[in-house]
Amino acid sequence: MSSALDSSKLKITKTTAPKTKLPNDQLVFGQSFTDHMLTIEWTAESGWGIPEIKPYGNLSLDPSACVFHYAFELFEGLKAYKDSKGKIRMFRPDMNMKRMNKSAARICLPTFDSEELIKLIGELLKIDGAFIPQERGYSLYIRPTMIGTTAGLGVGIPDRALLYVICSPVGPYYKTGFKAVRLEATDYATRAWPGGVGDKKLGANYAPCIKPQLEAASRGYQQNLWLFGPEKNVTEVGTMNFFVVFQDKATGKKELVTAPLDGTILEGVTRDSILSLARERLNPSEWDVNERYCTITEIASKAESGELVEAFGAGTAAVVSPIKEIGYNGTAINVPLLPGEQFGPLTKQIADWIAELQYGVVESEWSRVVN
């Protein structure tokens, strides 16, 4: 009988060597970790084993383990926040669990009951709760990971896997408020393609993106704006979803645009949150909210005609990341910002809306209190 993931079997071993916590201003994204981690082994024979919370530490794996050779690896990224009453809140963890299961299924790693893993992560958060900074802008980045651990070089379906969760206290992405970035529109390298796996959070999708990023950096750009196909559709920015705002000159109507989920776009939780909030809260007589294809030529021509209003990236780490310039074909497309500011009006509005929900200033189903 193969066991389902069962949070009631949790075994806890507490650290005997607690770490000294860094002051908030010394937190660097993903560089320091909490005292404990959650691990759960899986085998094809017995299913999910005993979930364990234990001191953060090295893994021991056979050098022939399939994760090292054939990239049986997937991950998630979500955050926990401490509200003004000191309660711990996770933001939309159900979305991350759903996506994690989709990633696992795609590379033949085991799936699991989402609610059980959310409960287990909740237990880890309670134990390491003192690592979650309470200050606004600060949070705990949670990194659920799954790897295939089958030893042997045959290419095949893993019969052993390890699911683990580590946590890193993080500060605001932009220490001194927003900092708008310059992007290089990239068409010589492709991040994702139809029929591929760019819509899954598989580790294998990320390593090949560093070289194009370095090339863009050598020309003074912080990130790649990934284009796709002969039409040069804009897909994503670095490892974030891309949003752009246009305003029709004749009618004055504004349009918020992001790429449709056609299998080449990562299904961002932040993307989904922004679309829902925009559809719910922006006045429909002034705004259209569209998931549609948008080419770099459309952005260039709308910049030219004065109809480009603002653009930003969206993802868990930064929530929104304003864009000030796109380099394309040797020319610069200037993206407007508010006068004297590093962001556009909607970018700021969305950052505020989402932060209020994350920190529980405004109660919503999206914010899950850990009890």
Rule CB under 6 A: which residues touch ligand PLP? 77, 201, 236, 239-241, 266, 268-271, 315-316
Task: Please identify, using beta-carbon distances, which residue of 150 and 241 lies nearer to ligand PLP.
Answer: 241
Q: How far is the CB of 311 from ligand PLP (least distance, A)?
A: 15
CA 116 – CA 144 distance, rounded (Å): 13
Q: Hunting for tokens 């260039």 — which residue is that?
A: 300
- What is the rounded distance in angstroms from the CA atom of residue 182 to the CA atom of residue 312? 11
Nearer to ligand PLP, 77 or 129 (CB): 77
Least distance (Å) between residue 77 CB and ligand PLP? 5
Sign of CA dihedral 128, 130, 136, 137: negative
- One-character DSSP codes across 33-63: --SEEEEEEEETTTEE---EEEE-------T
Strands 223-228 and 181-186: parallel
What is the closest distance, in whole angstroms, from the C-beta atom of residue 74 to ligand PLP in the complex?
Answer: 11
Residue 245 to residue 323: CA distance in whole angstroms: 11
**How many CB atoms lie under 10 A from the CB of residue 369?**
13
Least separation in angstroms between residue 234's CB and ligand PLP is 13
CA 264 to chain CA centroid, nearest Å: 15
CB of 343 to ligand PLP, least distance (A): 18
Count CB atoms within 10 A of the CB of residue 119: 18
CB of 170 to ligand PLP, least distance (A): 13
Quote the least distance from Cβ 339 to ligand PLP, whole Å.
29
Please, which residue, 53 or 257, has the CB nearer to ligand PLP?
257
Considering the complex, state which of residue 48 and residue 141 has its C-beta at the smaller distance from ligand PLP.
141
Closer residue to ligand PLP, CB minimum distance, 149 or 241: 241
Taking the least distance from each CB to ligand PLP, the nearer of 53 and 225 is 225
Task: Please name the residue that has the structure tokens 């683990």.
Answer: 164
Nearest distance, CB of residue 78 and ligand PLP, angstroms: 7
Count CB neighbours of 31 within 10 A: 11
SS3 104: helix
DSSP helix/strand/coil, 27: coil
Residues 337 and 312 sit within 8 Å (Cβ to Cβ): no
DSSP 8-state symbol, 298:
H
For ligand PLP, give the closer residue by CB, 201 or 348.
Answer: 201
157 residue type, one letter:
I
Nearest-angstrom CA–CA distance, 279 and 273: 10
Three-state DSSP state, 345: helix
265 vs 300 by CB, closer to ligand PLP: 265
**What's the closest the beta carbon of residue 316 comes to ligand PLP, in angstroms?**
3
Angle at 316 between CA 72 and CA 366, to 5 degrees: 105
Give the pairing of strands 52-55 and 11-12. Answer: parallel
Based on CB atoms, which residue is closest to ligand PLP, 171 or 315? 315
Q: Name which of 171 and 268 has its Cβ closer to ligand PLP.
A: 268
Minimal distance in Å, beta carbon 232 to ligand PLP? 18
Residue positions counted in the chain: 371
